[in-house]
Amino acid sequence: MADTMNIEPVKLTREDFNSPIEARWCPGCGDYSILAQMKKVLPELGVKKENIVFIAGIGCSSRFPYYVDTYGYHTIHGRAPAVASGVKIANPDLKVFVMTGDGDALSIGGNHFIHLCRRNIDITVVLFNNEIYGLTKGQYSPTSVQGQITKSSPYGSIERPFNPVEMALAAGATFVARTIDREPKHLEHILKRAAMHKGLSFVEVYQNCVIFNDGAYAPLTDKKVKKDNLIYMENDKPFIFGQDDEKALNWNGSGFEIVNLADHPEETLIKHAEDGGNPAAEFALSNLTMETHMPTPIGVFRNAHIPTYENMLVKQIKDVTAQKGEGTLETLLNSGNTFEIK
């Protein structure tokens, strides 16, 4: 088998990741932006190209593996987290990405998604959230807003949507972030941090579907209004936003409220802490969305560090081996209640 250890420094450029296969998303699709930023990030990870694996399920997002020149596996609907778990456990030296969508990860694959988060396997999940089923041509998804008119909800969807960041936090993901396709710098920065995180990292990308749900995130991307609606979270910094950075979020004891900087000097404001030490704040932040008529935070919600699944498994194998001795075929066959017939 090839040497999969990453010993020498890796010198790669984004061109090294250009796939001979031309991307076939619709013109103007937000997925192109995610692909472009990912190709910038990959050479910076210090991982050899042959050790990078993209796993996907089904949907527009899930064509992603074909468009990067690494190992790639386009699997079946919803199951990419499970396939990726097997890949990472089989070879912990690999850098494994799961590229998924709102239908793939939260509907048909919802079970696998929460369990992947819970186990803290060192995998980076990028969820392209366009709040619609694109590849099947426009049905409402588990993140579609209530009332949304789609082909399968001609009178408006009556379902309540999932909040992907809140789900990932609740399921125990150790790195949880949100970004937007139209914010390329932010997207690049978040993808890189997620990819460098040791443990399960989850990135929700608000992604515009130009065909079936165009403008779903307009309040967050339209230059005229976005400063009033978007908060760029940074660790250890207050949550300042507004056309002239004149507003901020502050903690009122039970939740976040909007305050004017004029009345609340910066040093008195609550600061963002990513370290996972304050679940109440994490969940409160995740619930600030257009749905709740609050400014929407993007950035890192949680960045905590606990042992990964695969490291604990490797350690268990080592510990048991140290205790019982390395098992050979000879000892295997001759174990149990044996007896001799002469």
Partner 1 sequence: MSDKQVKTLDSITIRFAGDSGDGMQLTGGQFTDTTAIAGNDLNTFPDYPAEIRAPVGTTFGVSGFQIQLSSKPVHTPGDAPDVLVAMNPAALKVNLPILRDNGIIIVNTDSFQQRNLDLAKYESNPLEDDSLKLYQVFRVPITTLTREALKDSPLRPKDKDRSKNFFALGMTYWMYSRSMDHTIEWINAKFKNKPELIDANTRALQAGYTYALSTEIFTTSYRIDKADKKPGKYRNITGNEATALGFIAAAKRAGKELYLGSYPITPASDILHELAKYRNYGVKTFQAEDEIAGIASAIGASYAGDMAITTTSGPGLALKSEALGLAVITELPLVVVNVQRGGPSTGLPTKTEQADLMQAMYGRNGEAPVPVIAANSPSDCFSAAFEAMEIAFKFNTPVVLLTDGYIANGAEPWLIPKVEDLPVIKVDYADDAENYQPYKRDPETLARKMAIPGMPGFEHHVGGLEKDVSGNVSYVPAVHQEMVNLRAEKVKRVNMHTTEPELYGNPEGELLVISWGSTYGSVFKAMEEAHSRGLSVSWYHLRWINPMPKNLGDIIKNFKKVLVPEINLGQLKQLIRAEYLVDAQGFNRVNGLPINSGELLEAIESQLKG
- On whether the CB atoms of residues 35 and 64 are closer than 8 A, the answer is yes
CB-count burial class (<10 Å; 0-12, 13-18, 19+) for 191: buried
Which of the stretches 125-133, 270-278, 288-296, 312-320 binds partner 1 when contact is defined by CB under 8 A?
312-320
Quick check: 185 binds partner 1 (CB under 8 A)? no
Residue 29 corresponds to which tokens in the numbers above?
Answer: 């699709």
In this chain, which of 30, 59, 65, 295 binds partner 1, going by CB under 8 A?
Answer: 65
Of all helices (H) and strands (E), which one includes residue 299?
strand 296-303
252 or 331: CB nearest partner 1: 331
Amino acid at 63: R
Tokens 């903690």 correspond to what residue?
A: 251
Which of the stretches 149-157, 176-184, 264-272, 316-324 binds partner 1 when contact is defined by CB under 8 A?
316-324
183 or 310: CB nearest partner 1: 310
- On whether the CB atoms of residues 301 and 282 are closer than 8 A, the answer is yes
Distance CA 83, CA 89 (A): 10
27 or 336: CB nearest partner 1: 336
Q: Report the nearest approach of partner 1 to the CB of residue 212 (Å).
A: 22
Site for partner 1 in 199-258 (CB under 8 A): none
User: Which positions from 111 to 150 touch partner 1 by CB under 8 A, shown as an x/- string?
Assistant: xx--x-----------------------------------
Quick check: 105 binds partner 1 (CB under 8 A)? no
306 or 320: CB nearest partner 1: 320
Quick check: 171 binds partner 1 (CB under 8 A)? no
Quick check: 9 binds partner 1 (CB under 8 A)? no
In this chain, which of 29, 34, 55, 167 binds partner 1, going by CB under 8 A?
Answer: 55
93 or 291: CB nearest partner 1: 93
Distance CA 37, CA 312 (A): 32
Quick check: 14 binds partner 1 (CB under 8 A)? no
Q: Sign of the CA dihedral 252, 202, 305, 9?
A: negative
Quick check: 189 binds partner 1 (CB under 8 A)? no
Tokens 């209640």 correspond to what residue?
A: 337
User: Which positions from 284 to 303 touch partner 1 by CB under 8 A, shown as an x/- string?
Assistant: --------------------
* Among 11, 89, 14, 85, CA closest to 47: 11
In this chain, which of 46, 93, 235, 266 binds partner 1, going by CB under 8 A?
Answer: 93
- On whether the CB atoms of residues 163 and 126 are closer than 8 A, the answer is no
Which of the stretches 80-88, 154-162, 213-221, 252-260 binds partner 1 when contact is defined by CB under 8 A?
80-88
DSSP assigned state of 107: I
Half-sphere exposure of 212 (CA within 13 A, CB side): 23
> 144-168: string of b/e by CB count within 10 Å (b at 16+)?
bbeebebeebeeebeeebbbbbbbb
Residue 100 corresponds to which tokens in the numbers above?
Answer: 């998924």
The count of residues in the chain is 342
Site for partner 1 (CB under 8 A): how many residues?
Answer: 62
Could you list the residues that contact partner 1 (CB under 8 A)? 1-4, 21, 48-51, 53, 55, 58, 65-66, 69-76, 79, 81-91, 93-94, 111-112, 115, 313, 316-317, 320-321, 323-330, 332-334, 336-342
